[in-house]
Amino acid sequence: MNNNNFQCGLDFGTSNSVITISDLNTKEQVFSYSDSSLLYFPEVNDMVYFVGKEAQNKYVEEKMKGRLLKSVKSLLRQDNFLYTWIYGKKLTPDELATLLIKNLKNKAEEYLGKEILEVVLGRPAVFSENPKKEQIAENRLLTAAHNAGFKDVRLQLEPIAAAFSYEKNLIRPEKVLVADFGGGTSDFTIMNLSSNRIFDKDRKSDILIHGGLYIGGDLFDSEIMWHKVTPHLGRGVKYKSYNKELEIPSVLFRELRNWERSFLLKDSKLRRSIDSYYVFSGNNYLINNLRVLIDNNYIFSLFKKIEKSKIDLSTQKETLIEFEENVISISEQFNIDDFEKTIQQYTDDIRNYILELMNTINVAPKDIDAVFITGGSSLVVPIRNIFHQIFGKEKIHSGDTFNSVAYGLSISY
């Protein structure tokens, strides 16, 4: 690959992953491929699996039977998560990540017509604040990349890669805050950028500070589910017990906040308790909605509607969360003010983190020349408003929302 002076960059994301190839001489991108970070294992004895958009389509085609896995990247830092059983076979977090990375590698090799052995692989600014978990996550990521077939793997921080993407078009030096918002994390880097430094190999002195939070698009979806949708599934309904009226335990609805765990509900003690709540609530139709949702594996489909509403509010003031399956009929108004209130705890955390990050290096908002925002969750209006309020709209810049990091990796040294 070096003979052609091409370089491969791979952004392995929580929700979406991208692989990009660029010409290091011209800094031009020659190939890019993105796919969702989903794995689907149908109900068969053989280890058959599907990746990305095909995984989602197959899962729906199979009536939501089998195992659909998302957020594999978030498993890398979980030291107590050693493996999961997939139809009689143990799969470790790095083995799951290998399947996703290998899929991207194959797509790039199909384009080049030859094997790719070297890659610059992105990693978040912070996998975990726990040093042990941080090291475990990095080791698992490297193991996954090597097992996918890469021989030479170099790691680069994702927000720094995004900075290189922005730097390519600079005409003068700037002090830049780079904010990369993904499905699982929000990463931030403040660094000095200049077009005449893009060819330097050692950029450590240009990095003033970097860090991150475990806040991303998946959390926003979870909050929408809790605040706007679970009331349609029985949250708040009361049932009779020994001449008392009690509210159905919230633990039932907390389990709905993460659709990837929904397959555990179907045969659980919690699911059996729902039948009792249904009877002792006077056969409340909202509780029946919950039973039908779980028994028919509709939770993933419901989350897709929730995600759509979030995306709608990136370009419009209001939308509807609509879901029609079997006896379930949900039509919930959702506007930008609702959304801001729903995720306010997270936007406050992001705002405070950015201010603290700047304060640590004695940098004020006025000292920041530009803010470069990237990542799929950067389109969320309440997120963008944080930066408008702190820095002013004129300083805010955006690139290719989903490809900035992968491109920056592909021109990284």
Q: What is the pLDDT of residue 265?
A: 85
Contact present, 140 and 94 (Cβ < 8 Å): yes
DSSP, collapsed to helix, strand or coil, labels residue 33 as: strand
Please compute the mean of the pLDDT values over residues 235-261 and round it to a whole number: 91
37 pLDDT band (50/70/90 cuts)?
A: very high
Instruction: Kindly report the average pLDDT of the chain as a whole number.
Output: 92
Q: What is the radius of gyration, based on Cα positions, of the chain?
A: 23
pLDDT, tens only, 94-135 = 999 999 999 999 999 999 999 999 999 999 888 888 999 999
**pLDDT tier at 202 (50, 70, 90 boundaries)?**
low
Interval 347-364: pLDDT, tens: 999 999 999 999 999 999
What percent of the chain is modeled with pLDDT above 90?
76
Taking residues 247-252, what's their average pLDDT? 92
Confidence of residue 4 (pLDDT cuts 50, 70, 90): low
Whether 83 contacts 75, CB under 8 Å: no
Nearest Cα to 343, choosing from 389, 372, 386, 302? 386
Helix, strand, or coil here: 177?
strand
Q: Which pLDDT band holds residue 344 (cuts at 50, 70, 90)?
A: very high
d(CA 34, CA 403): 8
* Whether pLDDT at 64 is above 90: no
Model pTM score:
0.87
Instruction: Could you please state the CATH topology (level 3) that the domain comprising 2-172+399-410 is classified under.
Output: Nucleotidyltransferase; domain 5 (3.30.420)
User: Which of 61-75, 175-189, 356-370: highest mean pLDDT?
Assistant: 356-370
List, as one string, the DSSP characters of 305-327.
HHHHHHHHTTTSSEEEEEEEETT
